[in-house]
Amino acid sequence: MKGNDMAGKTSKKKTVAEKSKKVVKTAAKTAKPRAKTVDSGIRPAAPKAYAAVAVKDSRNGKGFELPILKGTVGPDVVDIRKLYGEQGLFTYDPGYGSTGSTQSAITYIDGDVGILTHRGYKIEDLAENSDFMEVCYLLLEGELPTAKQKAEFEKNITYHTMLHEQIARFFSGFRRDAHPMAVMVGVVGALSAFYHDSTDIHDPRQRMIASHRLIAKVPTIAAMAYKYSVGQPFVYPQNNLSYAENFLRMTFAVPAEEYKIDPVVAAAMDKIFILHADHEQNASTSTVRMAGSSGANPFACIAAGIACLWGPAHGGANEAVLKMLAEIGHKDNIKEYIGKVKSKQDNTRLMGFGHRVYKNYDPRASVMRKSCHEVLDALGKRNDPVLELAMELEKIALSDDYFISHKLYPNVDFYSGIILQAIGFPTSMFTVLFAVARTVGWVAQWKEMIEDPTQRIGRPRQLYTGYGERPYVPINKRK
């Protein structure tokens, strides 16, 4: 919108990453570029083989070697890119649990010891000392901003928060009871129909504008999705508020009265955004990269990520916590429920405890736990039956030998679900909030992929188990 969507005013100054002396441009110069895509300079040099795995094919007794690549940290990687060309073999890895599909310099996770870093910075340090806008800049540009760079970045995001007024009419095409994630997928994907000046993925300036627009507009769309579902008028963004404050106001304010922002709630919302900003090559991030590998515009790619996040196996963990608490019903029933968990009766699970990636304590959980208790105190909801139940469950689980020995500690979803419930978000909005926070991670990963000259269109292989070739049977002869 004119005056609030600075497509032509976004800064042309070089970023920290472009100025950095550590930038390695060798790979970009020696590799064949893809369709004139310009490298921002953040990506590190391509890893080189330093050893090899010797493999013997038992079918013919022939041996061959596969190069081993080393990253900055983490497990070494076996390079199988030439395996099919030289040996006629594919690898088989359903779910890609042991397969690296890309090289990335954004996020690193070591689940065995409970480490999560963004651009080398521990998530605990970022959550305690930075705000969400600073983390966004870090993910996108590769370095923490100076005060001047942060102010300029915040201004660019702030003046992209409004939506084209015609987009608001899209919402009337949805049923009132439509799930907010269905609305998110449709409206975010439709942004490309309005912002043609930022869909050329090979133009670095257009990529930057699209990145800023997505980070800025997704919270506005999310708030509008909520307002539409409850039959209230849309609330426009306000430029003098922070990212989290603006989102809370757009979600909960009404025209009839002034909305007062609780600083404790706003701080907790900001931390939730930080702690969910990026999480390496998960399902939705891989979906964004896969869609982007075809050359699709960034708005379509992020819509694809939102659709993947909607799946209950990915983005619905904190909602599952609230459903579990509802099933338990009262704190007097906790002992019986935990007994079912231990005996695995009816496949009963303790939702919000333990993590598929983190085999130790979730590094985000300690930060979220502190915010959780602050929010409950600030809102005076210590005596809320559901939240009282949650706190009692946390207390028992943290002292129970079974959960300690199995490393079933409360994770970030347990605490974020309680916070969102206390603030007043319905469970249908939980995954939407996840999408708001994760948009910057998706955008950073998409941008990194586009600027990588070695990246190709995603084309997974398969182990075919269907019929072999067989003769066609005319319809009058089929039985």
Q: Considering the candidates 131, 270, 278, 413, report the single residue annotated as catalytic.
A: 413
* Short-list 357, 364, 340, CA closest to 407: 357
Question: Rounded to whole angstroms, how far apart are CA atoms 292 and 457?
Answer: 8
Listed in sequence order, the residues at least 6 apart from 303 whose beta carbon sits closer than 8 Å to its beta carbon are 184, 185, 186, 188, 189
Positive or negative: CA dihedral 370, 373, 376, 380: negative
| DSSP tag of 106 | S
Closest CA relative to residue 247, chosen from 231, 225, 276 = 225
Catalytic residue from among 39, 355, 362, 452: 355
Residue 413 is a catalytic residue = yes
CA–CA dist 457, 34 (Å, integer): 11
> In the sheet that 115-118 helps form, which strands lie side by side, from edge to edge?
107-110, 115-118, 121-122
CA 61 to CA 58: how far, in whole Å?
5
The two tokens of residue 345 are 């009766």
Dihedral (C-alpha) 246, 264, 251, 259: value to the nearest 10 degrees?
A: -80
Give φ, ψ of 381 to 5 degrees.
-110, 25
Handedness of CA 336, 341, 344, 348 (dihedral sign): positive
Q: How far apart (Å, rounded) are the C-alpha atoms in residues 393 and 397?
A: 6
d(Cα 104, Cα 280) in Å, to the nearest integer?
Answer: 9
d(CA 421, CA 322): 8
Inter-CA distances, 465 with 3, 88, 468, Å: 58, 18, 9
Backbone angles phi and psi of 105, in degrees to 5? -115, 20
Catalytic residues: 355, 413
